[in-house]
Amino acid sequence: MKIDTSTSRLYASQSTQISAASDDTSASFSAALSTATAGPSQSDAEGAEHTDFTSMTRQEMQEWSNEQIRSGNMSLDEGLPFMAMTMKIPVGGGTAAELQASDDGERVDFTEKVRAGIEGAISRNDEDTRTMLEKAMETMQQYQDETSGAEARA
């Protein structure tokens, strides 16, 4: 019985194909890595929005807080004061639809609303509300002027 130690043509071509595929994979990985670490492009910067709690609509606040909760940056409990700030409660009462965030275009300074809420909680000796609003203010200061949007994360 004779054992042939040479490589058959069948297997030799497979070795070349695997090597070529490996080079393609590493090249595409290198391209993906350089794209991911290159930073935002001009078109990315144009599509991104800056978070500005001093001038935001209720709808924008609701969308921002929902995104923070969805992405895991904020728990539901931490998002509670932000959701409450999106409500517009009419003086004479109203229906549930009127209480939800409406995109009426009104720009609101939410940082001022939180400051006023903290002052009110202090005057009422309401430590729970004061603590909740102080944490909300810290969160707002942390995210103020942050670039957000799907394009900014790419």
Give DSSP secondary structure letters for 121-141: HHHTT-HHHHHHHHHHHHHHH
d(CA 86, CA 28): 45
Range of the domain at 66: 49-153
Tell me the one-letter amino acid at 37: T
Structural domain contains residue 37: no
Residue 43 lies in a domain: no
Classify residue 22: in a domain, yes or no.
no
- 19 lies in some domain: no
Note the pLDDT tens digit of each residue in 13-54.
555 555 555 555 555 666 655 555 554 444 344 445 688 999
Question: Could you tell me the pLDDT band of residue 101, with boundaries at 50, 70 and 90?
Answer: low
* The pLDDT of residue 84 is above 50: yes
Q: For residue 2, is pLDDT > 80?
A: no
> Does residue 119 sit within a domain?
yes
Q: Is residue 54 part of a domain?
A: yes
Judge whether 17 lies within some domain.
no
Mean pLDDT of the chain: 75
| More confidently predicted of 25 and 4 | 4
Residue 104 located in a structural domain: yes
Domains in the chain, number: 1
Residue found by looking up tokens 């394009």 in the block: 151
| Tens digits of residue pLDDT in 26-36 | 556 666 555 55
pLDDT digits (tens, 9 = 90+) for 130-145: 999 999 999 999 998 7
The model carries a pTM of 0.59
